[in-house]
Structure 1
Amino acid sequence: MKIKKVLNNNAVIVLDDGKEKVAVGAGIAFNKKRNDIVNVNKIEKIFVMRENDKLEQLLSRIPEEHFTISEEIITYAERHMGTKLNEHIHIVLTDHLSFAIERSRDGIEINNKLLHEIKILYQKEFEIGLWALKHIKEVCQVDMPIDEAAFIALHLHTMKPHGGDLHQTVRQTAIIRDMVQSIKNHLSIAVEENDISYHRLITHLRFTLTRLSQYAPHSMDEEMIVMIQKKFPVSYNYAKEIAKDLLNLHGINLPDQELGYITLHIERLRKR
């Protein structure tokens, strides 16, 4: 396995079976140059990268330490989620983390307005994000706000197989936040972050929006909808108001079947 290009001390582009691959490992390229043989015992990770030019540009302008930290987080994430992430994660996460670390060193913090929703919707990814913050502190001596764990979680989620587009994921999460806020406003209640009913509501709203985007609403028969309307009239009226807010804010129309299920969640919150 010969080196085609040295990216930094810990990363090289190699030719393997006629394919360009990125090999990563501590000191793998130390005192190495083009056409030198790679010490396979130093390879910790190897992957095919269709965006070698972008990776090279990124590594030329960030501290080598940031790339190493990012790769350690990616390895940890793949192990704990039990899945391989899209190769693009090596660019987007490294770029994000490097900027975030420098920002934190300068005392600049960016709030993540979707923090609470991300913690619930992408729990495993968020826990990995918390580990990442701890790891960054140990390596770089930089304290980063918990908001960064949520940003990391979003990157990890969207780089999973079938994880979805980052823009669409952020938009969906923002819509859920608006719907929850609408429910709080109409019911005039404060919902505890760790309340199981709150978790169930947010999870349900996520699946509701996913179903609507796929044109596959919940199947609830007419008799059940009528029964819910009669048994929980107050909660059903609240559900209609929330649906109206959703239509006005985001142009999304909730069908009667979805209103029925949301009514049940609202009733549970009201009866806490």
Structure 2
Amino acid sequence: MKITRILNNNAVIVNDGMQEKIAVGAGIAFGKKRNDIVNAGKVEKLFVMKENEKLQQLLSRIPEEHFIISEKIISYAEEYLGTKLNEHIHIALTDHLSYALERESQGIQLKNKLLHEIRILYKREFEIGLWAVNYIEKTCHIRMPEDEAGYIALHIHTMKLQGGDMRQTVIQTTIIREIVETIMGFLHIQVREDDISYHRLITHLRFALTRMNHDETHTMDEEMLDMIKKKFPLSYQCARKVAKELDANHDLMLPKHEMGYITLHIERLRKQWIE
């Protein structure tokens, strides 16, 4: 592999046969110049990406350390999850982390309003995020808040091959947060983050929204639905309010059977609050 361009001390563009690749490794470009041969023993990763040009531009404008940290997190995530992530993660996470580190060094922190929901919905990805902020503290001596672990978790989740895209993930998580706020406001309660009933509600809402987006149904026996309405009238009224707001704010129609299941989850929360 022959060097065609040096991006930084740890990344170079090479010609490998007839293919252009980005070779990454600690000190891979040290003492090197164009047309030099790359030491294969120093190559830790080789990128052949559709977005090679974007990655080149990114590597040329951010500190080398930020890219190294991002790659370490990506490698840890792939090993932890036992799956390869979409190749775009090398651009998306690196760009996000570099900006986040720059903000943090200036004392600017962004509050993650979806943190509680991310912690529950994407538990393994959030654990990776926590590992990442600890790793950043060790390597950069910058202590980042758990809010950042949440942002990293979203990037990891959306870059899993079946994870979907960031925009849809954020929209869905935001809707879930709005539903929880509606329920708490209607019942005049505060839910505990470690409450198993809260976890079950959040998980059910996630799958309910996914089913709605795919025009799938979650059926319930009509007699059972009538019984739920009569036995838990307050919780059913709350579920109806949730349905109305989903329709008004997001043009989403909550099927009546889903309202029945959500009523049961709301009732569990309500009972725990009053007991």
Q: What is the TM-score of this pair, normalised by structure 1?
A: 0.95
Q: Displacement of 1:17 after TM fit?
A: 4.8
Corresponding residue number in structure 2 for 1:147:
147
Q: Displacement of 1:36 after TM fit?
A: 2.4
Corresponding residue number in structure 2 for 1:177:
177
Distance 1:256 1:66 in 2: 49
Distance 1:34 1:157 in 2: 38
1:20 and 2:54 aligned = no
Larger deviation: 45-54 or 102-111? 45-54
- 8 Å CA contact 1:112–1:147 kept in 2: the answer is yes
Corresponding residue number in structure 1 for 2:51:
51
Corresponding residue number in structure 2 for 1:218:
218
Distance 1:256 1:21 in 2: 54
Distance 1:31 1:219 in 2: 67
Q: Displacement of 1:48 after TM fit?
A: 1.7
Identity of aligned residues (%): 66
Question: 1:232-268 deviations in whole A, cap 9, x for unaligned?
Answer: 2232222112211222222211011110110110111
Distance 1:38 1:63 in 2: 22
Instruction: Please tell me the residue identity of whatever aligns with 1:63.
Output: P
Corresponding residue number in structure 2 for 1:236:
236
5+ residue gaps, structure 2, are: none
- 8 Å CA contact 1:48–1:87 kept in 2: the answer is no
Corresponding residue number in structure 1 for 2:35:
35
Matches within 5 A, 1:5-154: 5-154=5-154
Across the aligned residues of Structure 1 and Structure 2, the Cα RMSD in angstroms comes to 1.4
5+ residue gaps, structure 1, are: none
Question: 1:145-191 deviations in whole A, cap 9, x for unaligned?
Answer: 21111111111111110211111111111000000000111111110
Distance 2:62 2:47 in 1: 21
Q: Displacement of 1:211 after TM fit?
A: 0.5
Matches within 5 A, 1:182-193: 182-193=182-193
Matched residue of 2:142: which SS?
A: coil
Distance 1:231 1:195 in 2: 23
Larger deviation: 245-254 or 180-189? 245-254
Distance 2:162 2:253 in 1: 25
Matched residue of 2:252: which SS?
A: coil
Matched residue of 2:240: which SS?
A: helix
Distance 1:217 1:18 in 2: 51
Distance 1:27 1:199 in 2: 46
Question: 1:211-241 deviations in whole A, cap 9, x for unaligned?
Answer: 1000002122323222322332232222112
Q: How many residues align?
A: 272
Instruction: Please tell me the residue identity of whatever aligns with 2:216.
Output: A
Distance 2:259 2:237 in 1: 10
